[in-house]
Amino acid sequence: MISYIVRRLLWMIPTLFFVALITFILMHAAPGGPWDRDLSARQVDPRTQELLNKEFGLDKPLFINTEGGNPLDSQFFNYIGGALRGNLGPSYRQRGMNVEDILFKPPEGKPIWNSKFGYSLRLGLLALGLAVLFGIPLGTIGALRRNTVIDYFSLLISTIGISVPSFVLAIFLIVLLAGRLKLIKIVQQDWSSPGAWIVPGVILGFGTFAFITRLTRSQMLEVMQQDYVRTARAKGLSEKVVVARHMLRNALIPVVTIIGPALAGLVTGSFIIEQMFSFPGSGREFVQSISRRDYSMIMGTTLLYAVLVALANLTVDITYGFLDPRIKVGK
Amino acid sequence: MGALLEVKDLRTQFFTQDGVVNAVNGISYTLDEGETLGIVGESGCGKSVGVMSLIRLIPMPPGKVVGGEVWFEGRDLLKLDDDEIRQVRGNRIAMIFQDPMTSLNPVLTVGRQISEALELHLGLDKQQARRRSQELLELVGIPGAEGRLDNYPHQFSGGMRQRVMIAMGLSCNPQVLIADEPTTALDVTIQAQIVDLVKRLREELGMAIIWITHDLGVVAGLAHRMIVMYAGFIVEEATVKELYSNPRHPYTLGLLGSLPRLDEDRPERLRSIEGLPPDLIDLPVGCPFYARCTWRIERCLQENPPLAFVAHQHKAACWVDVTGVTA
């Protein structure tokens, strides 16, 4: 088991290398650069740009240095070298800040989870928690009470969740809850109270909740038809035991497998919600860095998300082995 | 010996989108203590639904037992409430199923699956239930029973899984064991082993057995009495010897005629019964076997023959006397 985990972790190295390479190629294929300004604004003059390029090493070749000297003295390999030492490079747009500081450094005197990435991670966990907490029971009840009002209600809610984009839902809820009912603030500035988190958490997790509901329901419907459920009933077990011990154990295996990737998706995909609620998370940094061509920031956030997805998948694979005895992990 | 189980005019229907399926159409029979009753018939003739209706295991909806009585230990099982019928299931009347591959829960150990009935019905604690489960696995001939308790179903072969099923069925010393085609999914040598095992257990434990099969060969050496079903009706009922030597219903004749025989001088092509069974949604008024019957007369079209005595301990549902015809 331990050797399996170690091997999987080692496999992350080539994975991350190629994620970095592909991101780097795509990023430089896009026109423009970090010093470009809005055409209406005052431009950075060419002389200064040259100096800046020299300062940040952007005058070097992209991949292979063919102009003599060390062939690996290029932008890409210098970045990789820095990243290996834990230095994700300076942000080109936020003066005097390193990428890792922007993502992981909490404000003065605050704990680590008040960093930007910490905020996003917490919001993602909250969204996932809500999705699981409500999705699994609703899907289960929908399947058990098939074709009743409860089932139609669960279908309605989950169809809305899958088809309505989160930003539409966000605007709707902001207008309703903040504009009309004055239950929450339109621009939330204090994120220390748990109440402030609920609305963005609900909106972020809604799609996942809908997906989990649908998946649980369809899995339950399939499991309910299985012969071993009939066997369980033939033993005289009560319906509660049949559902909990014999049905759910089997039906939830696929649900658990999607939880890992779902968390990664929620943490990395929260930028729209963060934008709408002016939430101080890392998602906004990610999206803004792309439009600003803040190269080091793009690389840093992409790699961070890649690590997150890889770890989530690894966790799921390991959990799978515990849930389904037919699957052997670690061979 | 008095009747242990008495089924009277049992009717089960399934309410589907295409219409009402008449799966079981008023069957009556008795099962004596310690007796083994074989129920034969082709697929879809209501054998399984008929016995599952006894302990109300048919899925509701779409299925429903619409009529009849099932008398067992002085009570009508069809009138018990859900809690009461659960105390009968797995405890007084146990059931084992056709496909041991799919009838065991893949994510629970076999020890857990056997012991849950013991804890429920006999009130054993975890330790006692585990010890008893091990004894049961030994009883059904699983080698290394103690270590096997913690195995999962996929770690057993088909025959071994059916042994586990039988151990599970016998765990609470039931009065009646219902076996729904328990050997159909197994290969022939394993079939023989399972039949021998059930015979031995019957001697040791003395339970009555209802054995459902479509294989007349398997059941011949096992059952005392046989019921032949067709389209949800019982068409013939007799002791095993009587049924095989003196069949009185054209369908039984057809079934026996379709068996391969090794003792004939010149093997012929297997004879099959021409045609298909009637649509259970739209049953004919007369005899359900009319369309396929070679002995049919005018009366068969108008009236469905009732099951009536044709000899000592022998009933058949046919207007025509087919005595003396060799199968």
Split chain B (327 residues) into runs of 10 and give each run's mean pLDDT.
83 89 89 91 86 86 86 88 89 88 89 90 88 89 86 88 88 89 81 86 88 85 90 90 87 81 65 80 85 83 85 86 62
Compute the count of residue pairs across chains A and B with CB atoms less than 8 Å apart: 75
Dihedrals phi, psi of B8, to nearest 5 degrees: -125, 115
Query: Is B121–A236 a contact, with Cβ atoms under 8 angstroms apart?
Result: yes
Task: Please give, rounded to a whole number of angstroms, the shortest distance from the CA of B247 to a CA of chain A.
Answer: 34
Q: What is the pLDDT of residue A330?
A: 61
Average pLDDT of span A231-242: 89
Query: Is A325–B107 a contact, with Cβ atoms under 8 angstroms apart?
Result: yes
Instruction: Evaluate if residue A21 carries a pLDDT over 80.
Output: yes
Task: Give the orientation angle of helix A282-291 with respect to helix A295-323, to 10 degrees.
Answer: 140
Instruction: Evaluate if residue A219 carries a pLDDT over 90.
Output: yes
Distances (CA, A) of B248 to B28, B37, B97: 18, 18, 30
Q: What is the pLDDT of residue A102?
A: 73
Average pLDDT of span A100-125: 77
More confident residue, B6 or A118: B6
Give B113-119's long-range contacts (Cβ < 8 A, gap of 24+): B113/B164, B113/B168, B114/B149, B114/B164, B114/B167, B114/B168, B114/B171, B116/A235, B116/A237, B116/A241, B116/A245, B117/A235, B117/A236, B117/A237, B117/B90, B117/B91, B117/B168, B117/B171, B117/B172, B118/B171, B118/B172
In this complex, which of A228, A237, A250 lies closest to B116 when CB atoms are compared? A237
Query: Is A227–B152 a contact, with Cβ atoms under 8 angstroms apart?
Result: no
Q: State how far the Cα of B230 lies from the Cα of B218, in Å rounded to an integer.
A: 19
Q: Which amino acid is at B107?
A: V
Paired tokens of A257: 């497998």
In B, minimum Cα distance to A250 occurs at B107
Residues of A in contact with B82 (CB under 8 A): 239
Average pLDDT of span A266-282: 79
Instruction: Evaluate if residue A78 carries a pLDDT over 50.
Output: yes
Q: Which amino acid is at A152?
A: Y
Span A33-66, pLDDT tens digits:
777 777 777 777 777 777 777 777 777 777 776 7
Instruction: Evaluate if residue A195 carries a pLDDT over 60.
Output: yes
Unique residue bearing structure tokens 């009637």:
B278
Task: Please give, rounded to a whole number of angstroms, the shortest distance from the CA of B105 to a CA of chain A.
Answer: 5
Q: Which amino acid is at B178?
A: I
- Which residue numbers of B have CB closer than 8 Å to A's CBs? 55, 57, 82, 86-91, 94-95, 97, 99, 102-109, 116-117, 120-121, 152, 154, 165, 168
Query: Is A237–B120 a contact, with Cβ atoms under 8 angstroms apart?
Result: yes
Paired tokens of A122: 């917490």
Query: Is A245–B154 a contact, with Cβ atoms under 8 angstroms apart?
Result: no
Q: Is A328 on the interface with B (CB under 8 A)?
A: no
Residues of B in contact with A326 (CB under 8 A): 106, 152, 154
Q: Please tell me which of A92-96, A289-293, B79-83 the model is most confident about, judged by mean pLDDT.
A: B79-83
pLDDT band at residue A68 using 50, 70 and 90 as cut-offs: low
Average pLDDT of span A318-327: 81
Provide the pairing of β-strand B36-40 with B19-32. Answer: unpaired
Average pLDDT of span A129-146: 91
Q: What is the pLDDT of residue A48?
A: 76
Question: Which of A59-73, A135-149, A257-271, B17-31 is predicted least confidently?
Answer: A59-73
Q: What is the pLDDT of residue A186?
A: 67
User: Count of CB atoms within 10 A of residue B21's CB?
Assistant: 21
Q: Cβ(A98)–Cβ(A82) under 8 Å?
A: no
Q: What is the pLDDT of residue A270?
A: 77
User: Count of CB atoms within 10 A of residue A299's CB?
Assistant: 24
Q: What is the pLDDT of residue B68?
A: 87
User: Count of CB atoms within 10 A of residue A52's CB?
Assistant: 16
Residues of B in contact with A248 (CB under 8 A): none
Output DSSP code: residue B277: P
Enumerate the H helices of chain B as residue ranges.
47-54, 82-88, 110-121, 126-139, 145-148, 158-170, 188-205, 216-220, 240-245, 250-257, 298-302
Unique residue bearing structure tokens 């913690």:
B150
Instruction: Evaluate if residue A278 carries a pLDDT over 80.
Output: no
Q: What is the pLDDT of residue A209?
A: 92
